[in-house]
Amino acid sequence: MEEKPRILLVDDEPDITSNLAPFLERAGFSVGVAADGVAALRRVADTSPDIIVLDVLMPKLDGREVCRRLRASGNWTPIIMLTRVGEATERAMTLGEGADDYLNKPFDPHELVARIQAVLRRARPGTPPLTAAHRLACGSFILDRAARRVLAAGRELPLTPRAVALLDYLMTHAGELLSRERLLDAVWGWDYPVGTRAVDMRIAELRKHLEDDPDSPRYIETVPGQGYMFIGQMEAAP
């Protein structure tokens, strides 16, 4: 029998961990719990979990600092950050820290399970995730994540900031089928009440500037009735 993936769940709210831990166990994981950042670092050193689910706002040592310290010490255990404040600032900050994914609170516990599985599938043990890279190269273009711009043949493409953020999310979740709702939640930061045309319009903007033909895509594939998937081959660029 294959061993269950081991999760370290870090949150200072006992009400959250005491409900979430049994849920994750029923979903097929073995779950350890830590109540603050200091305890989390100790548990990581003692038990080397397969993945860490990390709340951002915590006493003593917050989630962001835990992530920074682990990465600085060369530990690339996959991390999903649970954020609670708005996307814009929080998202930008998560970038330099090398978290693999993030989920806005409040979230549906089933969604957390799906994200854990996706991150575990994507992770290459011991190596930095693509989300830790500041520049990603794919085909004929480079996404400069830190500067929030896209370069093709040395020139910056005239993309709207939200289109760049969307491309960033697609590329760092390459090979994952991403529904429009999930993209709205992750990139726009809201559960948009106005339908999902907003996503389609930004995808069209990206395709136009990346010269990606929707009928035979090199980068962004439409999965009819379901969403989008990034299919380009990528590598971290210097």
Partner 1 sequence: MRKYWIWLVALAPAGVAGILALLLQGGSLPNLVLQFRADLGALLLLAGLLLSVAGLGIAALWTLARRRQERAVAGEQASAAEAHRRFIQRLDHELKNPLTAIRAGLANLDSAPGQAERQDVLVSVSAQAERLGRLAADLRKLAELEAQPLERAPVDVGELLEEAAELARQRPAAAERDLALTVPRAPWPLPAVAGDRDLLFLAVYNLLDNALKFTRAGDTVEVRAFEDGASVVVEVADTGSGIPADEILHIFDELYRGQGARGVEGSGLGLALVKAVVERHGGTVAARSRPGQGSVFTLRLPAG
Q: Which residues bind partner 1 (CB under 8 A)?
A: 85-89, 106, 160-162, 188-195, 197-198, 201
CB of 13 to partner 1, least distance (A): 15
- Which of 18, 140 has the CB closer to partner 1? 18
Q: Are strands 51-55 and 6-10 parallel, antiparallel or unpaired?
A: parallel
Q: Which of 237, 31, 9 is nearest to 137 (CA)?
A: 237
Burial (CB count within 10 angstroms: exposed 0-12, middle 13-18, buried 19+), residue 69: middle
- Which of 85, 236 has the CB closer to partner 1? 85
CB of 33 to partner 1, least distance (A): 23
CB of 101 to partner 1, least distance (A): 19
CA distances in angstroms from 21 to 43, 102, 147, 158, 160, listed in the order given: 16, 18, 38, 45, 40
The Cα–Cα gap between 171 and 138 comes to: 9
Tracing tokens 């951002």 back to the chain, one arrives at: 56
Structure tokens at 32: 């350890």
Amino acid (one-letter) located at 61: L
CB of 105 to partner 1, least distance (A): 9
- Which of 76, 188 has the CB closer to partner 1? 188
Q: Are strands 141-144 and 135-138 parallel, antiparallel or unpaired?
A: antiparallel
CB of 6 to partner 1, least distance (A): 29
- Which of 191, 215 has the CB closer to partner 1? 191
- Which of 45, 85 has the CB closer to partner 1? 85
CB of 184 to partner 1, least distance (A): 9
The Cα–Cα gap between 13 and 1 comes to: 34
- Which of 140, 190 has the CB closer to partner 1? 190
The Cα–Cα gap between 111 and 94 comes to: 20
- Other CB atoms within 10 A of residue 230 CB: 20
